[in-house]
Amino acid sequence: IRKSMDALAKLHHMPTIDWNQVLSHPKVSPRFQFSALNHSHHEHDLIPWLENKVGKPFAQLDHTELTQTLVDNRDRLGFSQKLSNQLKKDPDFLYNIILRSERNFIKISQTRLILYLTDEQLARAIIKHIPVLMHKRKAPFEQIEQLIHTLNEILSNGRSVSTLLRNTDAKTILENSPLFQMYLSEEYKNRHQHPNKDPDLQTKESLKPGL
């Protein structure tokens, strides 16, 4: 190959190639290269990065502290890539956090972190936290109106109740709740036409928290 390239250069009256320069390698040991690769990989790992931020092992992080750390650092350079890499390894990483408490659910869902959650994950979290999010002393239709309003405020950074209901799988999950069954009913849709009409006794019982 060298002889052919040199012959072509000579034929076209071009300067010959300095093969010593072309074939030279940087004086870096394999150990150093391996270390650099490890360092690069480490930089894109969310868990060590979080540990460095809070100054303690990840296993010792309380879920509320973890939630706050994620929220506080969501706009830092490289955070999105780290979180995306973590979700590739553990798709339920954020989902498990928002299930732990309604405060985690609210804090994460009210930021752009909601974009890393699927419609189905959000629907399951809503079902989990409905008993805490609803006003227990209101009339059934008022409970529904209040709940939908509250959820739309929480989800406003990228979702809404309507967008979740347009997803067939998420809608199926939400329909496990008597409140959402009532929300999707003709009776609720026509409530303003019959303002004095309340759900029957059986429906009222099903709407009670914890049932």
List pLDDT tens digits, range 84-140: 999 999 999 999 999 999 999 999 999 999 999 999 999 999 999 999 998 877 788
Q: Is the pTM of this model over 0.75?
A: no
**pLDDT given for residue 36 in this prediction:** 46
| CB-based burial, 171-201: b 16+ in 10 Å, e otherwise | bebbeebbbbebbeeebbeebeeeeeeebee
More confident call, 21 vs 87: 87
- pLDDT-based confidence at residue 211 (cuts at 50, 70, 90): very low
- Cα of first residue to Cα of last residue in the chain, in angstroms, is 80
Q: Give the least confident one: 26-30, 148-152, 170-174.
A: 26-30
Which tens digits make up the pLDDT trace of 46-82? 999 999 988 999 999 899 999 999 999 999 999 999 9
Residue 26 has pLDDT above 70, yes or no: no
